[in-house]
Amino acid sequence: MRYFHRTTLSPDDALAQAKAFFGTRLAPADEAARRRTYAGALGKVTITARAEGGHYTLVEVSTDQVGESELDRLAKRFLAEVHKQVEPGHELRGAY
């Protein structure tokens, strides 16, 4: 599955947040300039962050799962956390 979010965070800040979020849950599997991959018993997740449209960053999260899995819930929760970092008043809701 693939998810995305556009944010005003810099790509470096978004990837640092990915490391803080996924690094405690999964083992690092790959690291590139604008991409991080983590893997574990739940599966594999890849996070990319790239500048888009001036001062926006497109954050994409993809998993190797086919349906709504625990890893997909974590991916969606991560994007909600990215949103909350930019807008601290944003309330995290949902089953993820």
Quickly list H helices, 1-96: 11-22, 70-86
Kind of pairing between the strands at 35-40 and 2-7: unpaired
Burial class (CB in 10 A: 0-12, 13-18, 19+), 63: buried
Q: At what angle do helices 11-22 and 70-86 cross, to 10 degrees?
A: 140
Whether 40 shows a pLDDT value over 90: the answer reads yes
54: left (phi over 0), alpha (psi -120 to 50) or beta: left
- Write down the domain spans for the chain: 2-86
CATH code of the domain made up of 2-86: 3.30.310.80
81-95 pLDDT tens trace: 999 999 888 888 775
Amino acid 96: pLDDT: 56
